[in-house]
């Protein structure tokens, strides 16, 4: 795709089926390297603890329940290749770790609907997660990142919101976000073409999570900055600690505007900015109003101490400057 083709796309006018088939960016070799779908990111602490590992497995089990007919493969520890999934629940290799082993080892889970044998397509149905171990204090956060097909999401909005509420409680989510987003492969944030940038620049409602960049930069920043929220979107998750930094749950709830919701979970709360996700369109000056309200709530504690950018941008733009502009797009 070139920028002229991209400019002709009108994503807010597309059906969910069209989003899945047309909201994509291909390299010159026709491999898909970027696409739009639904994106959920959750970050939590103490991933080595038994109850957090068990909570993560509950999330995985429910994800499988939703997408059993779509999941094709999983990835074993220390393997670069995907293994065909037999359809019989959580893969045995993820269950075999004893509690003692869980505490002392990094725990990695990856389930996916693989449609691209080249493994370049970020794919529409995917769960990536890891739980930290107790031996590496410099890697304090654990995380779950999930891609969801728009066709499923728009048929199951309330089912999804209820699931996110449960999932946050299972691991006592420290912070997170969910919304329509640009889907990416882990470790491929700076591909040859600035494909993510064109989507994000035009449609401010799209979320993006440069998993690796955020984890490394927030862990390196002073003052345990990794404990503070990375972003806000249609759903914004805040753990009890972050709610306290903002004055407590009551103070945050008082900032909820008409059309928004404040949904408690075990260990925090979700700010819901409207009944359904919004796109916005920067070319028309359209910034989703309720998204701006959610951003204003977390702005005092939002993590912004990036030393490097996390979005590939066209030359001669500065990728750190443009990344921070995107982060502050709702301000």
DSSP state of 255: T
Note the pLDDT tens digit of each residue in 72-129. 999 988 888 999 999 999 999 898 765 556 666 678 899 999 998 777 789 999 999 9
**Average pLDDT in the chain:** 91
pLDDT of residue 104: 61
Q: What is the pLDDT of residue 136?
A: 73
Domain limits for position 156: 3-327
Instruction: Give residue 32's pLDDT.
Output: 84
CA distance 104 to 82: 25
Give, rounded to a whole angstrom, the gap between the first and last alpha carbons of the chain.
31
> Distance (Å, rounded) from C-alpha 327 to C-alpha 298?
12
CA quadruple 187, 88, 156, 143: dihedral sign:
negative
Q: What is the pLDDT of residues 137-165, one digit of tens each?
A: 668 899 999 999 999 999 999 999 999 99
Element holding 22 (H helix, E strand):
helix 16-22
3-class SS at 175?
strand
Domain tally for the chain? 1
Please report the pLDDT score of residue 114 as a whole number.
Answer: 94
Report the predicted TM-score, pTM, of the whole model to 2 decimal places. Answer: 0.95
> Quick one: pLDDT at residue 50?
87
Distance between CA atoms of 269 and 274, rounded to whole angstroms? Answer: 15
Q: What is the DSSP letter of 272?
A: E
DSSP 256: P
Supply the pLDDT for residue 117: 75
Percent of the chain with pLDDT over 90: 73
Q: How far is CA 86 from CA 148, 152, 298, in A?
A: 21, 22, 42
Residue 2 has pLDDT above 80, yes or no: no
pLDDT at res. 90: 95
Distance of CA 305 to the CA centre of its chain: 19
Asked if residue 116 lies in contact with residue 108, where contact means CB atoms within 8 angstroms, the answer is no
Q: Cβ(234)–Cβ(277) under 8 Å?
A: yes
Distances, alpha carbon 115 to alpha carbons 156, 289, 317, in Å: 23, 36, 34
Averaged pLDDT for residues 186-209: 80
Of 60-69, 212-221, 260-269, the range with the lowest mean pLDDT is 212-221
Compute the distance between CA of residue 83 and CA of residue 36 in angstroms, rounded to an integer. 25
Q: Is 260 left (phi over 0), alpha (psi -120 to 50) or beta?
A: beta
Of 195 and 62, which is predicted with more confidence? 62
| 211: nearest Cα among 49, 34, 26, 43 | 43
């Amino acid at each position: 795709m070139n920028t002229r083709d991209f400019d002709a796309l009108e994503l807010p006018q597309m059906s969910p089926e069209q989003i899945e088939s047309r909201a994509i960016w291909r390299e010159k070799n026709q491999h898909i390297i970027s696409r739009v779908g639904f994106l959920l990111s959750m970050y939590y602490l103490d991933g080595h603890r038994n109850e957090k590992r068990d909570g993560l497995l509950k999330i995985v089990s429910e994800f499988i329940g939703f997408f059993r007919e779509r999941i094709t493969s999983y990835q074993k520890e220390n393997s670069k290749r995907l293994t065909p999934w037999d359809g019989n629940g959580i893969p045995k290799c993820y269950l075999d770790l004893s509690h003692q082993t869980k505490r002392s080892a990094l725990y990695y889970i990856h389930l996916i609907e693989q449609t691209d044998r080249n493994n370049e397509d970020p794919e529409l149905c995917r769960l990536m997660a890891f739980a930290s171990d107790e031996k590496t204090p410099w890697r304090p956060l654990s995380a779950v990142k999930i891609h969801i097909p728009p066709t499923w999401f728009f048929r199951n909005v309330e089912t999804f919101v209820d699931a996110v509420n449960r999932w946050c409680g299972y691991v006592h989510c420290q912070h997170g976000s969910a919304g329509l987003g640009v889907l990416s492969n882990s470790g491929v944030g700076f591909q040859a073409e600035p494909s993510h940038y064109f989507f994000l620049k035009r449609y401010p409602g799209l979320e993006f999570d440069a998993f690796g960049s955020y984890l490394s930069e927030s862990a390196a920043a002073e003052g345990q900055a990794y404990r503070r929220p990375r972003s806000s979107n249609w759903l914004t998750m805040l753990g009890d600690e972050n709610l306290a930094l903002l004055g407590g749950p009551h103070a945050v709830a008082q900032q909820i505007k008409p059309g928004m919701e404040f949904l408690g979970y075990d260990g925090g709360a979700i700010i819901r900015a409207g009944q359904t996700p919004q796109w916005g369109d920067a070319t028309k000056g359209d910034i989703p109003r309720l998204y701006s309200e959610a951003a204003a709530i977390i702005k005092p504690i939002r993590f912004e101490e990036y030393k490097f950018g996390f979005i590939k941008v066209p030359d001669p733009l500065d990728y750190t400057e443009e990344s921070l502009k995107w982060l502050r797009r709702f301000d």
